[in-house]
Every structure is written in C-alpha cells, then in structure tokens.
Structure 1
C-alpha cells in the first residue's frame, strides 16, 4: 500500500473551505496589513487554496468586506435595554473602542456597507432599543446614536494615529517637541505638554471617558 505524502495528509486534515473561514482569514490579513491587503489572491494563499475556489463561498471582495464588518459588529457587546441608558451606552462605547483598536482597519468601514449582515442589524437594533427604553423618542434616539458614534469613531481614528502608544513613548515624543520649539514661541502648547501631558499618571486614553461623559450628560430623552 502506497503511503500518503505530507502534502496529502495536510489536505486531508484541512478544514473544509467555508464563508466563515474566508472572512476570518481576510480579517487576519487586514489586522496585519490593513484593508488594502485583503485581496482574493492573498486570502487564498493564507488558506492554502486557489483563488478561484473562494468564489464557491463568496461573491467577491465586496462580499468579503461585508462579512468582515459584520464580524466586527459581532464582537461588540450589545447594550442591555433593562440597564440605565447611560450605562448601557457607556459600556457599549467602551466595548466598541476595544474592538476597533483590535481591528484598526474597520473604523472607516463600519457604516459603509449597503448590505448589512445579521450581527450589524442586531447591534444597531439593540442600541436603538436601549435608547428607546431609556425614554428617547425615535428622532432623539437617532440623534443620540449618531453623535455617540461620531465621537467614538473619531476618537479611535485619532488614537490610532498618535505617534506614541505608551507613557514612555509619549515622554520621548513630547520631550523632542519641546526641545525643537523656539524659546519664546507657542507658550500655551508648552504649558499643555509640561503641566498636563508629561505629568505622572497621564494617559491619553483617559480623554475618551471625559468626552463620552460630556456627550451622555448633554443628551436628554425628554427633548423632542
């Protein structure tokens, strides 16, 4: 009896190709290389298959992007309608931020799909449901949803663009900026760096909670 080669064993053990496997591989590529790195050829190479075989499970790249966005929404904790609406929105915003930091490519795609998947629809319905349960009218729930997400996505974009990721890196960047500034120029910027950003315990991430609280405190379910 002829022995199977190593390659034959690998093919026999490989999990069957599916839409879920294609989307998961695409997300891993995007996490490493950004959305631009998600090509049919690159996905196929990661899965160890021919690119044409992907079309048995997805319609094309746009279909894959639909699935990727839906999967990201599926990772976000859903707000609970029975909770206080502010706490529900706060918890959901914190979960969203954590997920978007894991998948930086997703920020610009979250609401871009014309064919949202079930996780996306479930997420949006749960957010609106928590706001409606909190006393918001349909129109005010829409306003609240929009302003919260505008802040959330904008903050994550800014956070991901910063030239530092730790207090040590911030100290290095800020010190370099101070060193290069003309002696008598930009006094308010120098004040901000020395008396705020370089103080012990400062973390840029804390700004997220401050801004979110301002928005939630300003929202009023009784306003028409």
Structure 2
C-alpha cells in the first residue's frame, strides 16, 4: 500500500516534526538572541513581531509566550546587549576601573548600531540597565569618591557612561550630496572658510582625520571619545583630591 506524505516517514511528516521541535525549543533567550541578530541586519525600526516570527519559523502568536509585546522585546534586547559588557575589573584604581568599564560598554554597543536608539527609547530602566548604572556608582564610591561628587560626575558622564559620543557638531544634519565637487570648487570652499571662519579652520586642520568618522566630519571617533572620557575622569579626580562639595555657603 502506498504511503502518503503525511504518514510517519514521509517528507511532510518529517517537516512537521522539525517545526514542532523548533517550537518546543523556543524560549525567551532564543527569541531575544534572534531579535538582536535580526536588528543588526535590518534595524529596530524595521523589526516587528511578525518579521521575527518568520526568522524563527514560528507563528507570531508563539512569540507572545516569551515576550509580552514589542516594548517587552526591546527591553529584553537591551538586557542581552548589556550582558556583553565585561564585568568590572577588581583590585585597580577607580579611574582605571571606570575607564575600562565604559570602553567595554562602548565596544559592546558599537557591535549593534541600533543599541543607542533602543536604550534611549526605554521608558523605564530594566534591571540590567540599573545594575550597570549601579556598578558605575559602586566604582566611584569604593574608590573613595563622595556620594555628592559621584552624583554630579554621573550626570556629567551622561551618555558616555554607555559609550555614546556626544558631539557639538553633527555632520549628518544636512542633506546628503552624492556628487563630488571638483578641485576648483573645493579650493573655493576652503578659501571661503579661511576668510570667514579662520579660527574654525585652524582648529579643524590641527590634527589628522579619519574619513570614516561619524563624529564631526573626519575626526577619529575612538580617539575623541577617549580624550573626552579621560578629561572628565581627571577632572573628577582633581575635585576629589581638593575635597570638593556642592554645598552652598
């Protein structure tokens, strides 16, 4: 007697069994890992529960057993990213420990271009976000920094705590022009800049530039970030050594 495809051993049956196995193995961590990987490819704006379900080869309703909605999904994705940050290094001075912690966060977030947008969009901090912030506070306090100074220092760090670069100038603000100006046009532009804005030109041409930068056109992103971070840490240390307090007299 012939065997239909739906009977045990048939291709359709084996496919159904494979689908069932995938559904059985689905859990929150797998959903979040898949969401992070998908967001790396298409960004969080294009990420949807339906698109993620397709990636996991399940029906969209299967996801809701593990994540409440897209907001819960994004919360979990942020938590996954934070887990990539190295643990605080012990038995070193507070400045070095904080520097390493922040640079590790920067490295983790740079692997996921959408991470900054996701973190900044969260209405309420998740446990992992709070744990990370608490670890930064702990580094300050165990290093002898007063709670008063640590409070203001964390405000000053702001997004740099996560490795975000905060820039005065944003080269992406204007419309993109794919045409490359000729040599004469470039020379005219430079001459105009030198005449109208000589001090800006002096500063802008004072060091070599990285053409792949996203921090002010052509600047070395990593160098500028570390320079600002070190400047802040040195300032915190100097105020600590002087016994600084925010108390008004």
Describe how 1:1-224 pairs up with structure 2 within 5 A.
Answer: 2-5=8-11, 7-8=15-16, 10-11=18-19, 14=22, 16-80=25-89, 82-110=91-119, 112-114=122-124, 116-117=126-127, 119-151=128-160, 155-156=164-165, 178-179=186-187, 181=189, 183-186=191-194, 187-192=198-203, 194-198=205-209, 203-219=220-236, 220-221=239-240, 222-224=243-245
Give the RMSD, CA atoms, in angstroms.
Answer: 3.2
What is the alpha-carbon distance in structure 1 between the residues aligned to residue 37 and residue 111 of structure 2? 11
- For these two proteins, the number of residue pairs brought into alignment is 210
Q: Which residue of 2 aligns with 1:168?
A: none
What is the alpha-carbon distance in structure 1 between the residues aligned to residue 163 and residue 185 of structure 2? 24
More helix by percentage: 1
**CA spacing shift, 1:52–1:13, aligned 2, 3 Å:** closer
What is the alpha-carbon distance in structure 1 between the residues aligned to residue 209 and residue 133 of structure 2? 39
TM-score by length of 2: 0.71
Higher RCO (C-alpha 8 Å, min separation 6):
1
* Structure label with greater radius of gyration: 2
TM-score by length of 1: 0.78
